[in-house]
Amino acid sequence: MNDPEHLSPGRRAWQRFQKNRLARWSAWYLVLLLAVVIAWPLLLKIAGGDFARLHGPDELSDAQFAPPSFQHWFGTDLHGRDLFSRVVFGAQISLLVGVFGALVSLVIGVSWGAIAGYVGGRLDGVLMRIVDVLYSLPTVVFIIVIVTTLGERLKESSIVQHSPAAAGALRIVLLFVGLGAVSWLTMARIIRGQVLSLRSRAFVEASRALGAGTPRILLRHIIPNILGVAITYTALTLPAIILYESFLSYLALGVQPPMASWGTLISEGVSQINPIRIYWWLIVFPGAVLVATLLALNFLGDGLRDAWDIKAK
Amino acid sequence: MYFIRRILFAIPLLLVISVLAFALMHLAPGSPFDTERKPASPIVEENIRAKYHADEPVWKQYGEYLNGLLHGDFGASLKYQNHSVNDIIAQGLPVSMLLGGLAFCIAMGVGIPLGFLTAARRGGWQDYAGSFVALLTVCVPSFVIAPFMILIFAMKLKWLPVGLWITPWHMIMPSITLGAYFVGKVARILREGMLDAAQSEFVTAARAKGLGENALLLKHVLRIALLPVVSYSGPMLADLLTGSFVVENIFQIPGIGVFLVNSCLNLDSTVVVGLSLLYAILLIGLNLLVDFAYTLLDPRVKYE
Amino acid sequence: MAFAKRARRIIRRARFLLFASFVAVICSCSRREPPADVVIINNVEPESLDPAVIVAQADMRIVSGMFEGLTRLAPEDDRAIPGLAKNWDVSPDGKIYTFHLRTNLLWSTGEPITSADVVYSWIRALDPKTACRYVEQLYYLKNAEDFNSGKITNADLVGVSAPDKYTVRAELKAPTVFFIDLCAFQTLAVVPRQAIERYGDHWLRVKPVPVSGAFELDSWRLNDKIRLKKNPNYWDATNTLSEIIDLLPVGSPTTALNLYENGQVDVVWDKELIPSSLVDVLIKRPDFHKFNYLGDYFVRFNVTKKPFDDVRVRQALALAVDKERITKRITRAGEQIAEHLVPPGIQNYDPPPGIGHDPERARKLLAEAGYPGGKGFPRFEYLFNASPIHEKIAVELQQMWRDELGIDMELRQVETQVFWGMQSRLEFQMSKSSWAGDYNDPNTYLGMFVTGDGNNETGWSNPRYDELIAAAGNELDLAKREKLFQQAETILDHDEMPVIPLYIYVGINYFDTNKIAGIWPNILDDHPLRAVHRIKPKS
């Protein structure tokens, strides 16, 4: 009895999604990546001793620029640090920034767009004009100013001054706040459009005619129906944010050394592309992992969109 | 009428943007006047600040700035003291526009056929290969593509110059690098648009009338599918025209993009505000143009 | 469908127009200029070309081609030799210099250059309104400091005057043995009053800019290039060996190397423009020229804050640094490690021994200071500006102190512009520093650590040190003067250690000696443009 007409939208999407081979593989790749990212630091901690010293992401050694070998699977960098470990720890940062950035954009975008679309009228006008203004500011300027200005201001605050952990995490928090803050605009516009069209749909009108209150309508009708759009665009925002983070790292605005993200590793790698001598592993491994992850995330996003059957606006 | 209203609306928008950019820059710690070498006496520092009115309250500085703007003067750069923001725009914008224009041509010239091919051969190997290439160009950062292109075409093969902006030969690699990302974007948008359009009712009707598949794709489907591409081209052009920091930086091109980023880092607030305004003006203008193009392409669209 | 047809026609026409205009634009944008004789990469875009404004050494290399002072530097060895002044007399007490100008001096625009121009230029640099950052170079003149800080407003009281059209009289507050060297420094160069008073800040943008030096400014496009062309009115124009020189603003070592390797530029002359990952290979090539350079890399402590207010802590950290590790692993151009702040090879001076490398003693000192094995040592930050080399050195330092002393340092990278501000406001605990000598005398290093100097930036103050530097400033006998400086430096980088010197820079230029001549290695890394030229192929 698999008649798709009888299934909930979520169920139907899941079935369609499973048929999409690329998206399924991408999902598996991402699961694998996550597993490595979580397991590797644990392994280092458990194994300890020589193993940790050999592979620790911040352990300097005399093996400068060692090519990939049995000991160092991805080779080493100028300081003799194990590149595999750095890529894995970089993944932590990059994915963290990507996921939280996408979440920031999800939360702001959905609430902003939903309120504007549902309440409508003057408030809608004001909210959307704000989006227009932010849209017209160059993204680069906005992010740089947020990351540097806000960062330095917060650094001076007493909370950060007294807690080393807060100081260390500050840059990452700033990164995803900054990146999230510029990527919610599109989300807000799309959600508002969806809500607007939903509001005038027959079943919502009917429900309202039957005396349903605003919260009920929002919960029962609006939110389930924009869920697919929201999830899909979040999935598509994620790779965009990771890519943007790598661009910021290229500008040396990324995480603070000796921490590294994929972006910092890649920009370190490309800075030594030259006709005389290339330590190829410095660019190939971080680059390949980044591109593979972005591809996977995009395939996944596309798969989700096809599954939810969302039309380009 | 509609367009006139849009233009009028742009004025308060620009004002808000200038206030916002101005305020953000003044929140920044440090000052654009700090250098490696410290002035011998505090009075020197004070004099530098006085010269640029940095000692006055922010609202007054903004008032003076606005007054200059009304006279078409974007103010003086705080970092490059002999140059005004007008100088910087006058020198950089033509270069960035040419670079952006070339990149736009590449994005459209390659992106549209690529998108068409993948949609027309949906499910075939062309679709998979084409879609993969399109996605790849979106996923590989330009600061990775550019060094590899330089390494191969300039250093090893010696076909093209490494950088600078002198002859058409110098423009090839930067335009490709800058356009690559948008090739993928355009192709993906067009492909989606075509797949959507292929399902629409009037295409089904046309098919029922016995129109050949190719003619159908070219005549009807492409026409509709181009609309989202057109609406994307506005913001895309604005991004392209204000240049790309990465491409200009790597290829040593004297455009606007490098200033946009560097002035933020140098806390050169007049340049930041000036260039932000320029960007906003370009974006608003181009979006207007896009809407206008819409009315030409799609007779159904009417603005009251 | 009439509308669509019309639209199509419009689009077709628009497409043609677009294409045509594109071709036109591309053609007009490919500039047709005569090729330059020599193309030089000179580091990033100069902030200005005004001698009284510039700070960066790279900017000075361009400006010194345009504006000359009473003396100028010899291209071979950076000695100060006669420039606009053909000779000078010094009073027996070493306090009064009388310069005799050449009589054939002309601005590039044709007006004569007289002693009044010299006085104007110096007073302009000292004028608080000009806000010159390098103004200390003129503080050796009588009353100059008071005039600059606004204590006196009468410019006539400053120790520089023009008794007649071709004579400049400089009255110093103390005998200054390097005053002739200073006269070649850019802040003291002679600038055109006629243009500055007329155009204000814009004077360098109004063509033609009158210049006193060997080259005129032909064009200046930000981030593109500066083109200089020979000034035919320069008094020594026969020895200006190039007609046109292009200077490109390039800040990335990789780009600089690629442009050079591809033959698009002839000379790259800044030590920062060699990719650090390739130094070890490149340094062996015949077209890479390495030389001693009057500059060093060091670390500043903020001595006003815990824990670095304790001299034992500072000494412990200094003793624990294995400087050789930094030069061997990171910089790799064969740099000498720095035991003392003043680089060796400087005129009139031999530095005293430094504190050395002794981890054992370091641990003992740290324990004495109350942190045995690094226990209880407060969290501290190392401040540096965003640049690969600073980051790499920071990472090595971090590891060394963790391994040797058991203390944890955090890295804090900020934007360069923010960095300068934070450093001067002492908003750091420890910070990356470097200094390149302005003139060939130990005073260019030791002078800046006296109490309250703008470039001290450590909060450190020592009355004995101040006394010694002041005494050296008044001393005419070179041997005695050296003794005084040595005593001062022993306080600075042995006893008190507000700084840890790490290594001495090496200068590296690259150009093919078969094609380009007129660039000599020298300790100031200054290469007068007038001597640079392309070797004519023998026919």
The CA-atom distances, in angstroms, between C58 and each of B191, C75, C79, C268, C536 are 52, 16, 19, 12, 27
Q: Do A276 and C278 touch (CB under 8 A)?
A: yes
Q: Which of residues 163-192 of B touch C (CB under 8 A)?
A: 163-168, 171
**How far, in Å, CA of B52 to CA of B45, rounded?**
11
DSSP secondary structure of A244-277 = HHHHHHHTT-SSPTTS--HHHHHHHHHTT--SS-
Residue B79 forms contact with C (CB below 8 Å): yes
Q: Which chains touch A (3 or more CB pairs under 8 A)?
A: B, C
pTM assigned to the model? 0.89
| Nearest chain C CA: its distance from B35 CA (Å) | 6
User: What's the average model confidence in pLDDT over B226-241?
Assistant: 84
Rounded to a whole number of angstroms, the CA Rg of chain C reads 26
Mean of per-residue pLDDT scores for chain C: 90
Report pLDDT for B194. Answer: 86
Inter-chain touch A164–C411, beta carbons under 8 Å: no
- Taking residues A171-188, report their average pLDDT: 85
Per-residue pLDDT at B184 exceeds 70: yes
Give CA–CA dist B42/C278, Å, rounded: 43
Instruction: Give the pLDDT confidence of C151-173 residue by residue, as tens digits.
Output: 899 999 999 999 999 999 999 99
Is the pLDDT assigned to residue C3 strictly greater than 60? Answer: no
d(CA B113, CA C18): 20
Statement: residue A266 has pLDDT above 50: yes
Q: What is the pLDDT of residue C2?
A: 53
Which of A113-117, A241-245, C17-21, C111-115 shows the lowest mean pLDDT across its residues?
C17-21
Subunit contact A295:B264, Cβ cutoff 8 A: no
From C399's Cα to the closest Cα of chain A, the distance in A is: 7
**In this complex, do C258 and B150 lie within 8 Å of one another by their Cβ atoms?**
yes
| pLDDT bucket at B11, cuts 50 / 70 / 90 | confident
Amino acid at position B292, single letter: F
Chain A residue with minimal CA distance to C258? A274
> Residue A256 is nearest to which of C258, C399, C413, comparing CB atoms?
C413
B147 touches chain C (CB under 8 A): yes
pLDDT at A313 over 60: no
Give percent of chain C above pLDDT 90.
62
Chain B residues in contact with chain A using a Cβ-Cβ cutoff of 8 Å: 13, 16-17, 20-21, 24-25, 27-30, 135-136, 138-141, 143-144, 147-148, 150-151, 155-156, 189, 192-193, 196, 228, 242, 245-246, 260-261, 264-265, 272, 275-276, 279-280, 283-284
Nearest to C261 among A60, A268, A275 (CB): A275
> Which contacts of C445-451 are long-range, i.e. CB under 8 A and separated by 24 or more positions?
C445/C341, C445/C342, C445/C343, C446/C341, C446/C342, C446/C472, C446/C485, C446/C488, C446/C489, C446/C492, C449/C492, C449/C498, C449/C499
Query: Which one of A109-123, B63-77, C38-52 scores highest in mean pLDDT?
Result: C38-52
Alpha helices in C30-67 (DSSP H): 57-66
pLDDT for C413-431, tens place per residue?
A: 888 888 888 888 888 999 9
Which among B106, B162, B166, B222 is the top mutation candidate for probing chain C, defined by the most C β-carbons within 10 Å of its own β-carbon?
B162
Cross-chain CB nearest to B44 (options C25, C135, C264): C135
The answer to whether the CB atoms of B260 and A138 lie below 8 A apart is: yes
> What's the pLDDT score for residue C1?
42
Residue-level pLDDT at A167: 63
Strand-pair partners of C504? C296
Write the DSSP assignment of B129-175 as a string of letters: HHHHHHHHHHHS-HHHHHHHHIIIIIIIS--S-SS-SSSHHHHHHHH
CB contact (8 A) between residue C329 and residue A78: yes
Nearest to B268 by CA among C418, C351, A131, C396: C418
In 3D, which of C312, C296, C295, C314 has the Cα closest to residue C429? C314
The size of the A-B interface in CB pairs under 8 A is 107
Q: Contact partners of C by the rule of 3+ C-beta pairs under 8 A? A: A, B
Question: Per-residue pLDDT tens for C395-404?
Answer: 999 999 999 9
What was the pLDDT predicted at C122?
96
Neighbours of C373 (CB within 10 A): 12
Q: Do A251 and B135 touch (CB under 8 A)?
A: no
User: Between chains, do B264 and A247 touch, taking CB under 8 Å as contact?
Assistant: no
pLDDT in tens, B112-169: 999 999 988 888 888 889 989 999 998 998 889 999 999 999 988 999 999 888 888 8
pLDDT number for residue A1: 41
What's the mean pLDDT in B36-57?
A: 75
- For A257, name the nearest residue in chain C, comparing CA atoms only: C411
Label residue C279 exposed, middle or buried (CB < 10 Å: 0-12, 13-18, 19+): buried
Which tokens go with C469?
Answer: 């530097």
User: Measured between alpha carbons, how far is C411 from A168 in angstroms, rounded to an integer?
Assistant: 10
Output the pLDDT for position A71. Answer: 84
Q: Is B117 left (phi over 0), alpha (psi -120 to 50) or beta?
A: alpha
Q: What is the pLDDT of residues C10-34, one digit of tens each?
A: 666 666 666 776 666 666 655 568 8
Which whole number is the average pLDDT over B22-32?
Answer: 76
- Give C124-161 as a DSSP string: HHHSGGG--TTGGGGTTBTTHHHHHTTS---GGGSSEE
pLDDT value at residue A162: 60
**Lowest mean pLDDT, pick from A226-235, A267-276, B35-44:** B35-44
Looking at residue B304, its pLDDT comes to 45
What residues of chain A lie within 8 A of the CB of B275, using their CB?
138, 141
Least confident among A60-64, B250-254, C388-392: A60-64
Per-residue confidence at C237, pLDDT binned at 50, 70, 90? very high
A12: left (phi over 0), alpha (psi -120 to 50) or beta: alpha
> For the ranges A153-162, A288-297, C148-157, which has the lowest average pLDDT?
A153-162
Q: Confirm if A188 and A112 have CB atoms less than 8 A apart.
A: yes
Measured in angstroms, the CA of C295 and the nearest CA of chain B are apart by: 14
Is the preceding omega at residue A258 within 30 degrees of 0, hence cis? yes
C254–A276 C-beta distance less than 8 A: no
Dihedral sign computed on CA atoms, order C298, C299, C302, C306: negative
* Interchain CB distance below 8 Å, C128 and B43: yes
* pLDDT tens for each residue of A71-90: 888 988 888 889 999 999 99
- B37 CA to chain A: closest CA distance, Å? 22
Check residue C57 and give its pLDDT: 85
pLDDT digits (tens, 9 = 90+) for C340-356: 999 988 888 998 888 88
Chain A hits for C387, CB-CB cut-off 8 Å, are 252
DSSP letter at A218?
I
Contacts 24+ apart (CB under 8 A), C196-201: C196/C124, C201/B76, C201/B81, C201/B82
Give pLDDT, residue C10. 63
What pLDDT is recorded for position C304? 93
Q: Pick from A132, A250, A274: which is nearest to B246 by CB?
A: A250
